[in-house]
Amino acid sequence: MEYETVGAAVDGSAVGQPQYKVKSKRKPLEVFMNTLFFLCGMVAVACVLVISVYLVISGLPAILEIGPINFLFGTRWYASTEDFGIFAIILTSISGTAGAIIIGVPIGLMTAIFLAKVANPKLAKVIHTAVELLAGIPSVVYGLVGMILLVPAIRVAFNLPSGATLLAAIIVLSIMILPSIISVSETALRAVPREYEEASLALGATHIETVFRVTVPAARSGIATAIVLGIGRAIGEAMAIIMVAGNVANMPGLLTSVRFLTTAIASEMSYASVGSLHRDALFSIGLVLFLFIMMINVFLNVFIKNKKEA
């Protein structure tokens, strides 16, 4: 009896009427839900499109008015005389990011190696919690601590009139990118097959030699991803460095007050009057920053794709 029922249902699903009836009753709802979820999925795509289109529409006029060469390679940024050249600002963003990478990557990578390969599990867990907390601290809090602790320290150490410098921004940025570098490279290090390490150990290499000469090279694509993510975070950070970098559009120097792409937008938008060239130029800075980020994204995708193929 039971067998017959099952058999009937199987047959029914192919051609039988009962199954068809149930389907037709549910169909409108199913189609509706499918469409609804499809629309939810397309929201992300729509947002990316709107963001790109808006940045181009609002960023291009000022670039065209000032002239692309003058805008990108002009070294003077004075709103009062309508000089809008962002070369110094671009260089500041690049050198600030580079500095943060130079300090942050070695420390972050070493911590990741420590967590993945050397520390005992209990200690690793404690440090892991610390890293997660570092990632959760709001950027204005980093800025505040930098402004109160770091900036005066730099002023005293280098005997400057003000400690709000590129150096302060670099230090704050390198702490801020630590969590993403640590967690991504730790995952990469843990994913290295044990056989690689065992082979190296069997050949007589010490644990440390194995880690540095076998595990780290084997995890290099993951570590590269971590570095690129760090670059992305550093170049896009605004509120922490606005409080420590001094905000004067100088050519970058370790001990000069500087202005980043992000901080230019954040600090000047409030007083640039609507419709002015100044305000449009700030949108153009947003466009330049966006192009930087998109370049990093494309680079990252190529990397991840390579990793998947390998």
Cβ-based neighbour number of residue 194 at 10 Å: 8
Q: Which is nearer to other proteins, 94 or 107 (CB)?
A: 107
Q: Which is nearer to other proteins, 76 or 125 (CB)?
A: 125
What is each CA distance from 243 to 142, 197, 198, 220, 293, in whole angstroms?
9, 46, 49, 35, 22
Question: What's the closest the beta carbon of residue 145 comes to other proteins, in angstroms?
Answer: 6
Q: Which is nearer to other proteins, 76 or 207 (CB)?
A: 207
Antiparallel, parallel or unpaired: β 77-78 and 83-84: antiparallel
Q: Which is nearer to other proteins, 201 or 254 (CB)?
A: 201
Q: How far apart are CA 62 and CA 282, in angstroms?
A: 9
Question: What's the closest the beta carbon of residue 73 comes to other proteins, in angstroms?
Answer: 23
Question: What's the closest the beta carbon of residue 67 comes to other proteins, in angstroms?
Answer: 23
Q: Which is nearer to other proteins, 76 or 106 (CB)?
A: 106
Question: What's the closest the beta carbon of residue 160 comes to other proteins, in angstroms?
Answer: 19
Do 95 and 253 meet the contact criterion of CB atoms below 8 Å apart?
A: no
Q: What angle do CA 149, 151, 152 make, to 5 degrees?
A: 75
Question: What's the closest the beta carbon of residue 158 comes to other proteins, in angstroms?
Answer: 21
Site of tokens 């990093």: 296
